[in-house]
């Protein structure tokens, strides 16, 4: 799913087109980093209010089954303790609103908190594209 146009700037699928990250870029961004595959941990899901510690500790298989059925995740990996969040039909994290803003920003997953300075396909760069 290529999101690149001259108007939008970076191509999410080509990190070489990404721009060097500066915090102020987030102020008027389309949130294209949220179009990357987003893997979260059980602790992220707890912080987001999707599950609790008891379900994680005692029924991880049931948790994965429930979250798939509810459309929160597409898959869960028991051995790695990772879950892949679903995306909207038009692409992007299912927690984005119509304006590509995060609806769980205060409780967002660790991978989102650390992007792009600590966790990213291209550290220090982001797939920034200006909002319309």
Domain that holds residue 37: 19-126
Map residue 95 onto helix, strand or coil: coil
pLDDT tens, the chain, 132 aa long: 444 433 456 788 888 888 898 888 877 777 778 888 999 999 999 999 999 999 999 999 999 999 999 999 999 998 888 999 999 998 899 999 988 889 999 999 999 999 999 988 899 998 877 766
Residue 12 lies in a domain: no
* Number of separate domains in the chain: 1
What are 75's strand-pairing partners? 84
For tokens 């909207």, name the residue. Answer: 88
Tell me if 68 is assigned to some domain: yes
Does residue 9 sit within a domain? no
């Amino acid at each position: 799913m290529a999101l690149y146009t001259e108007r939008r700037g970076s191509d999410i699928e080509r990190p070489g087109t990404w721009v060097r990250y500066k915090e102020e870029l987030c102020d008027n961004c389309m949130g294209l980093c949220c179009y990357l595959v987003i893997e979260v941990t059980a602790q992220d899901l707890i912080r987001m209010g999707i599950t609790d510690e008891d379900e994680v500790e005692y029924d991880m298989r049931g948790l994965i089954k429930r979250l798939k059925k509810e459309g929160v995740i597409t898959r869960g990996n028991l051995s790695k303790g990772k879950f892949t969040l679903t995306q909207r039909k038009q692409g992007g994290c299912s927690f984005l609103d119509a304006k590509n803003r995060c609806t769980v920003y205060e409780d967002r997953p660790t991978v989102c908190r650390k992007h792009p300075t600590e966790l990213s396909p291209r550290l220090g760069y982001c797939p920034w594209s200006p909002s319309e």
